[in-house]
A and B are shown apart, each in its own frame.
Chain A
Amino acid sequence: MKVLLSWLQELAPFPDDPELIGDTLSDLGTPVEAMERIGEGWDGIVVARVLDLRPHPDADRIQLVDVDPGDGGPLQIGCGAFNMAVGDLVPLATIGSTVPGGLRIERRKLRGEWSNGMLCSSRELGLGGDHAGIRILEPGAAPGTSLAEALGVAPDVLYELEVNPNRPDAMSVAGIARDLAARLHLPFALPEPTVATAGAPAGSATTVEVLAPELCGRFTAWVLRDVTVGTSPEWMQRRLTALGMRPINALVDISNYVMLELGQPNHPYDLHRVAGGGFRVRRARTGEGLVTLDDVERTLTRDDLLICDGDDRAVGIAGIMGGAAGEISESTTDVLLEMAWFSPAAVSRTSRRLGLRSEASARFEKGCDPEGIDRAARRFCQLATEICGAVVAPGSARAQGDLPSRAPVRVRPARVNALLGTDLTADHIRDQIEPIGFACAPVEGDLDVMVPTWRPDTTTEVDVVEEVARHWGYRAIPIRQLSQPRSGGLTARQARRRGVRRLLAGLGLAECLPLPFLAPGQLEACGLPPGGIELLNPMVAEESVLRPSLLPGLVQATALNAARRRPGVALFEIGHVFGVPPPGQVLPDEREHLAVLLAGREAPAAVATWLVLADQLRAEAPDVENAEVPGLHPTRAGRVLVAGPDGATPVGTVGEVDPAVLAGHGVEERVAWLEVDLGALLDGRRRSGAFRPVSRFPSSDVDLAFEVPEATSAIAVERTLAGASPLVWSVRLFDVFRGAQVAEGCRSLAYTLRLQARDHTLTDEEMAAARAACIAAVERAHHAVLRG
C-alpha cells in the first residue's frame, strides 16, 4: 500500500516531518519499504508546446519534435515516445537541468540530429507510474511556465508500506491516517461528505437482489444522472499515478480514488448498458463463463459469486473484476454505482482459483467495512458532482445478506499485563485503543471492548492485547530476563552427531549440503531402485523427487568437481532421506543418513572410515559383511553392522560406487562409498565405558593362523579372539592368504595376539592355556581350523 504525506495531511494535522511519519508508521507495524520524495528536483523543467512532429531520417524508434519552450521556438528535441500530438503541452527538461533520476540533460546528437533537451514521462519526473509515454499536461499553462507551478505540485513524500493480513484498515489512506494520528495524539475523524440529491430516487431506477446472502453481506446500488465523463483533474491523476494506478477517465478515477482513500472497492456501470437496470447477486453455475475487463474468458464454479444484470447475465465477478459489459465510456450519461460487502473467504477462494488478483480483491480478502459503504458512496457522489456535474438520485437500492456478528470482547487488564509484562490499568488500555475506534465499557474492573467494523481481524482478547501493545509501543514494554535456573544441553544423539562431524573433518573430508531433490530417472542412473516419493508441484521437473539415498547427490557432486578439474574429492553429508511410508503411516519413512565419498580411493578406504567412525561412536560390535548392494561395485560392496537387540543389525552400506554408475556420470576414477543410517547408529548400543587398567608387567605375542570360510567376517574372528581369554590385550590381523595350501572356499587369516596379565608376568603354562582357549573359541564360533 502506498500513501502520500499530503493525502494523510488532509485527514489529520500531521507535521511536515517525513522521517517522523515514516518511523512511526514502521513502529505501528506498517513498515516503510520505500520512501520517495516527489515533486522535487524539477529546476529547469518547464512546460513546452508541441509545434511539429516528424520522423527521424535515420531512426525508426525516435521522432523529432519541435517545441515552443516559452520563447516561441522552434526547438528541436529527439524523442523515443510517440504519444503526443501537435498542440499538446509536455514537460521539457532543458539543457543543463537534472531530472529526478539523476540524469543531467545536455545538448547531444541522436543519430545525427540535435536534441536540445528531453521530454519527460511521469516516471522520469519522479511521479511514479507510467513510463509508456511522455506525460501530456492539462491544457491551460503557458509554455515556459515551470512544471511545478503548472502542476500545482508542492513537494510531497510517497511511502510504500507493507501491510500485514491482520490490518485490513491499513489498505486505505484514511485507515493509515487513523492509526498514525492515534499514535501521534492528533485528532482524526473520517470525512462526512454531503451530497445534494435531485430527481427520481435510485430505487425507482434500479433493483438489487441478493440470492447468495452467505457470500454477499450487503449490496447497494446508487444512481447518478447527467454525468460528463471526461478526464479527471490533474491533482487526482497525480495522486492515482503516485499510488500506482493508471488514470482512465473521470468516473473510473473517482472510483479508484474512493477505494484508495476509504478502502471501499466499488464499481460504476453505465446505467443504460446494464440490462434490466438492476443487479442480481448469485452463485455462478458450474461452467458458466465471463470475459473479464482484462479480456480473459473465465470459467466459474458454484463457489464463485457473480454480479448479474436484471436479465441474469453476468456483468462481473463479485469483489474481483468486472466484465466488459456495462463498462463506463466517454458517452456514458447515467451511472449505476455498486458498493457492496463480500465474504473475504469467498473472494479469496475465487481469486486464488482463477489466479486473478485486483486492488478490489486484495481489500475484500482482508475484510472491508460493511458500515463504511454509505460514506464511500457519498464520497463518490460528492466527487462526481464536483468533477462530472453528476446529479445524484436520492437514496439507494439495497439488499442485505449475512454480515459477521459482532459481540464485545472481554479484555482483562490482568491478562494484558500477564502477556505483556506491563503494569497497565483499564484506563491505560482504553487510552491506547479508543482513538483507533475500539469502544471500551468497564465491567467489574475489566473492559467490554466493541471492535470497530473496519477491524474484522480482531475477534479475541489476545487480538486486542496486540492492539494495546502496538499503540503503547513495543519499545515501551520493559525488558525482562528469564529467571528460572535451568540446565540446557544437547541430547546424547546431538552431541555424538557433532563428534561424527569433527571426526570426518579431521580425516580431511569436506561437508557439503547439495540440493536434496532429484530428477526423474536419477535414481536409476545411480543403480538404485526407482520409486522415490514425488512432489506434486515442483519448481522444475529436475527437482521433483525426494531422495531415498544420499548417493545421487554426492555422485553428482563428484562429477561436477571432476568436470572442474578437481578429481579426488573427499566429501561427507549428513542429511534426511525419505522412504515409502510404512503401513499405517502417512508421512514417509524419514531418516537421517551419513554418507562418505572418497574419490580416487578404493573400497578399503571406505571400510577403514567405517571402522574409525564406529570406534569414535564406541558402537558395540561393529562389523562388515560382503554383499551385493544396488549402486555399488558388485564385487566390492557390503553392509556395515552393529550389535542390535536381535544380534548383528545392518545400519548401512560400504564399498565402491558401481563403475557403470560412475561412467554414466563421466567420473573416471574409483570412488569409495559409505552410507549409514546415522540415527540408528547414534542410538545404537555402545560398548562399555569402564576403564581397563593397563599392566606394568611384560607382554608376550602369539601368532595364530586359521583357515576361515570366505563367508565369515575377519572382523568377527578378531572379536572372538579378543573375547576368548582375559589375558588377550589386543588382536591384530597381519596376514591374509589364499591359495592351493588353503581349503577350497576358505582363506587363511593370521592374527597376532598380545597377551598380558595385570598383576604378574605370564608363565608358559598360562600362555599355552590362553592360546588354546583362543583356538577353541575361533574353531567353535566360525567353522575355522587352525593352520599347522
Chain B
Amino acid sequence: MIDEIRVLAGDAVARARAAGTLDDLRALEAEVVGKKGALAGFKRRMGSLDPDQRRHVGQALNAAQWEVADALGARRDELDQAGRRSRLERERLDLTEVRAGRDAGHIHLVAQVIEELEDTFVGLGFRVAEGPEVEDDWHNFSALNFGEHHPARDMQDTFFVDLGAPGEVVLRTHTSPVQVRVMECQPPPIYTVMPGRVYRNEAADATHLAVFHQLECLVVDRGITFGHMAGTIDMFTKAFFGEGFSTRLRPSYFPFTEPSAEVDVRRPDGSWLELGGCGMVHPNVLANCGIDPEEWSGFAFGFGLDRLAATRHGITDLRDFLSTDVRVLEQF
C-alpha cells in the first residue's frame, strides 16, 4: 500500500509539473488530493490495517499529500506567472510614440516680463497700478509739466483721438500719466509700479514699435533723495538681472523730472544696455497733483519692456511682439 501511495504521488507530481493550464491543475488536485480523490481513498482503506501498519501508511499518506500539494502549488505559481506575462505582453506600449495632443499653452512674452518685473518690485515693497490707454491732455502732458510748445506734443509723436476738443484726447505716449492718476487719488507715501501699453506715432521697424510697453516706478515720501533713486534702481537691477549687473546714471532731460537721468545697465561682460530714464519728480508735477513739494519728494523711473525682453531672448525684430503667428507665440 505504501508503494502504491508512492507511485500515485510520484505520478501526480509528474502530471502536476506537466500540467498546461490552471484547469488541468484543478482537475488533478480533485483527482489526487481532493475529498474524493485517490489519497482520500487510501485513507479510507487504512481502517483495515493494524496499528503499526496504519502508522506507516499514515506517514506515507501525509508525505504524499504534502508532496503533491507542493507540486500543484509550484505549478500553479508558474502558470499564474506565465498568464500574467502574456497578459502584460498584450498590453505592451511604446511610450516614445506618445504625443501630448495639445501643448501647455503660452503666456505672451510681454505678459511674462510684466509679471516678472511686478514680482520684483512687489518684493521691494511696491504696489501695482494701471490706467487707461486713451488719455486726456492733462494726464499725458500738462500735469507732467510738458510746456504748451513741447516737441513731444508734435503730431509726429502723438496719436490724437477724434474725441473732445482738437488735441484734447490722445493715445498715451508713456505710462507716466498713471503716475498722475495715482497721485491724484492717493496721498503719499506712494510706492507704486505701473506697467502698460503705450503708443507713439512713428513707423514701426525692427527697433521701433508704434505700440509697445513700458513699466514706470513712482516713489513719493518724506525725505526721498536722488541717492534713494540710484539705490532703488541698482537694487531692482540686481534683483531682476542678477548680482553681476550694476547701473550708471547719466544726466538727461524729461519735463516731469528734475534732475533727470538716463539709466544704463552694465552687464557682467562689461557691455552697457540703455535701460530707460529716471529722475526726481518735478515740483510742478507734485503740485499739479495736489502734493506739497516742500513736504514731499519722490522719484520716477521708467523703461521699455519689449526691448528688454528682446535683448534677453535674442529677438532682433521688435515687430515679432505684435505677431499673431502661432509659430512665434508657441516659443514662449
| A506 touches which of B105, B224, B253, B323 (Cβ 8 Å) | B105
Q: Name B109-167 residues within 8 Å CB distance of A.
A: 110-111, 115, 118, 121-128, 130, 132-136, 148-151, 154-155, 159-164, 166
Cβ contact of A486, chosen from B128, B161, B191, cutoff 8 A: B191
Q: How far is the CB of A708 from chain B (nearest CB, A)?
A: 35
Closest residue of B by beta carbon distance from A515: B322
Evaluate whether A586 and B324 lie within 8 angstroms (CB atoms) in the complex, with A488-B123, A489-B127, A506-B104 already known.
no
The 5 A-B pairs at the shortest CB distance, nearest first, are namely A29-B251, A421-B227, A421-B225, A505-B105, A557-B324
Are A465 and B259 in touch, CB under 8 angstroms?
yes
Q: What 12 additional pairs, Cβ within 8 angstroms, besides A165-B150, A488-B126, A508-B103?
A: A164-B252, A165-B151, A352-B154, A418-B225, A419-B297, A480-B230, A484-B189, A486-B189, A502-B107, A514-B322, A537-B159, A564-B327
Establish whether residues B221 and A477, one from each chain, have CB atoms under 8 Å apart when the complex forms.
Answer: no
Q: Is the CB of B118 within 8 A of A479?
A: no
> Which of A47-55, A397-405, A566-574, A740-748 binds B?
A566-574
A569–B325 alpha-carbon span in the complex (Å):
10
* B residues near A763, Cβ cutoff 8 Å: none
The residues of A that contact B189 with a CB separation of less than 8 Å are: 484, 486
Query: Complex Cα distance A26/B280, Å?
Result: 20
Q: Which residue of A lies closest to B164 (CB)?
A: A586
Which of B107, B123, B149 interacts with A349 by CB under 8 Å?
B149
Interface size, B (range)? 35 or more
- Are A587 and B280 in touch, CB under 8 angstroms? no
Cβ of B191 to closest chain A Cβ, rounded Å? 6
Judge whether A296 is part of the interface by a CB distance below 8 angstroms: no
- Once the chains are docked, how many angstroms separate the CA of A509 from the CA of B326? 10
Residues of A within 8 A of B202 (CB): 539
A interface, how many residues as a size bin? 35 or more
Query: Using a CB-CB cutoff of 8 Å, which residues 460-511 of chain A contact chain B?
Result: 460, 462-463, 465-466, 469-470, 474-475, 477-482, 484-491, 494, 498, 501-502, 504-511
Annotate A496-536 by CB proximity to B: 1 below 8 A, 0 otherwise. Answer: 00100110111111111111110000000000000001111
A237 at the interface (CB under 8 A from B): no
Q: Is B260 in contact with chain A by the CB < 8 A criterion? A: yes
State whether A508 touches B102 (Cβ < 8 A). Answer: yes
B24: CB under 8 A from chain A?
no
Partner of B253, one of A165, A422, A486: A165
- Contact flag A511-B108 (CB < 8 Å), given A348-B149, A533-B163: yes
Residue of A nearest to B213 (CB): A513
B211 CB-CB contact with A under 8 Å: yes
Chain A residue, CB-CB nearest to B328: A512
B169 touches A463 (CB 8 A): no
A516 near B211 (CB under 8 angstroms)? Answer: yes
Q: Is B249 an interface residue (CB 8 A)?
A: yes
A509-B324 Cα distance, complex, nearest whole Å: 13
A31 contacts the other chain (CB 8 A): yes
The complex places the Cα of A481 from the Cα of B250 at a distance, in Å, of 19
- B232: CB under 8 A from chain A? yes
Kindly report which residue of chain B lies nearest to residue A590, judged by CB atoms. Answer: B132
Q: CB-nearest residue of chain B relative to A505?
A: B105
List residues of chain A with CB within 8 A of the CB of B249: 474-475
Name which residue of chain A comes closest to B124, CB basis: A488
Query: What chain B residues lie within 8 Å of A543 (beta carbons)?
Result: 210
User: A153 interface residue, CB < 8 Å from B?
Assistant: no
Interface residue? B226 (CB, 8 A): yes
Contact mask A411-431 → B, CB, 8 Å, 1/0? 000000011111000000000
Closest to B127 in A: A488
Q: Is A345 an interface residue (CB 8 A)?
A: yes
Contact with A along B313-332 (1 / 0, CB 8 A): 00000000111111101100
Q: 20 A-B pairs, CB-CB below 8 angstroms?
A: A31-B250, A419-B225, A420-B226, A421-B225, A466-B251, A480-B227, A482-B191, A488-B122, A510-B105, A511-B111, A512-B329, A533-B161, A535-B162, A536-B160, A536-B161, A553-B324, A566-B326, A571-B329, A586-B136, A590-B132
Q: Which residues of B contact A (CB under 8 A)?
A: 102-108, 110-111, 115, 118, 121-128, 130, 132-136, 148-151, 154-155, 159-164, 166, 168-169, 171, 189, 191, 197, 201-203, 210-211, 219, 221, 223-228, 230-232, 234-235, 248-253, 258-262, 280, 282-283, 297, 321-327, 329-330
Flag if B251 contacts A511 (CB, 8 Å). no
Please tell me if A7 contacts chain B, counting CB pairs below 8 Å: no
A462 touches B251 (CB 8 A): no
Complex Cα distance, B230 from A487, in Å, reads 21
Is A246 part of the contact surface with B, judged by Cβ < 8 Å?
no
Name the contact of A588 in the complex, choosing from B128, B163, B191, B259 (C-beta under 8 A): B163
CB atoms of A482 and B231 under 8 A apart: yes
Report yes or no: A462 in contact with B250, Cβ–Cβ below 8 A: no
Q: Which residue of B lies closest to A474 (CB)?
A: B249
With contact pairs A348-B149, A537-B201 given, residues A462 and B122 touching in the complex (Cβ less than 8 Å): no
B253 pairs with A29, CB closer than 8 A? yes
Chain B neighbourhood of A557, CB < 8 A: 324
Minimum CB distance partner of B226 in chain A? A420
* B191 to chain A: closest residue by CB: A486
Decide if B134 touches A587 in the complex (CB within 8 Å): yes
In angstroms, how far is the closest chain A Cβ from the Cβ of B228?
Answer: 5
CB-based contact A569/B251 at 8 Å: no
Return B324 CB to nearest CB of chain A, in Å.
3
Q: Least Cβ distance of B291 to chain A in Å?
A: 15
On chain B, the residues within 8 Å of A422 by CB distance are 225-227
